[in-house]
Amino acid sequence: MNGTVFHKALAAAALALALTGAAGMAGAQAINTKSMNKATQTKKVDISADGMEIFDDKNQAVFTGHVKAVRRDTTLTADKLVVDYRKVKKADGAQDTEVTFLNADGHVRIVTPEQTITGNHAKMDVKKNLLWVTGNVVVKKKTSTIRGAKLFANLKTNVSRIEAGGKGRVHGVFTPAK
């Protein structure tokens, strides 16, 4: 696979998995799996950054500077996105890449039509379908806002939690629908 095709394929795979994993949190409830399932139906990914480097010896791609990734109606922005991958052989003997971990740093923002999640860092274990967002986490939905130090979501079990960290506390504001 030539370098240009490899870079485009890796970028698309990384964002597809990042945005699938970051489908969001509905208030203080579990991850919204309906949004997540919709997100996996479309493969097209639009990603832009000030720079991109591939480190083949480390199986890593690094997007830096004003990273913006859009898939359907979900947008991920950050200062930096690091994609860890491994090389796998396909049934026909050709070599492909498989994304294993995603790490977003600096001004992380995940926006869906239903909610916005912000934090300083986000990490996803793609194989295990686990998502962490840390550092000044804010989850906003139309009628609710939750703040904490850490968000953890298991996308397989639809269990999520927000932790305060240190001596702080989790804080939520909920406005009932009329």
Q: What is the pLDDT of residues 68-118, one digit of tens each?
A: 988 788 788 999 999 888 988 889 988 888 888 889 999 999 888 888 999
Structure tokens that stand for 50 in this block: 């000030």
Domain locations along the chain: 3-174
Three-class secondary structure assignment of the chain: CCHHHHHHHHHHHHHHHHHHHCCCECCCCCECHHHHHHHHHCCCCEEECCEEEEEHHHCEEEEEEEEEEEECCEEEEEEEEEEEEEEEECCCCCEEEEEEEEEEEEEEEEECCCEEEEEEEEEEECCCCEEEEEEEEEEEECCEEEEEEEEEEECCCCEEEEECCCCCCCEEEECCCC
Pick out the chain residues at pLDDT < 50: 1-42
Question: What pLDDT was estimated at residue 10?
Answer: 39
Per CATH, the homologous superfamily of domain 3-174 is Lipopolysaccharide (LPS) transport protein A like domain (2.60.450.10)
Structure tokens that stand for 35 in this block: 């949004």
Question: What pLDDT was estimated at residue 140?
Answer: 92
Question: What pLDDT was estimated at residue 34?
Answer: 44
Q: What is the residue-averaged pLDDT of the chain? A: 77
Question: What pLDDT was estimated at residue 26?
Answer: 27
Question: What pLDDT was estimated at residue 151?
Answer: 93
Question: What pLDDT was estimated at residue 44?
Answer: 64
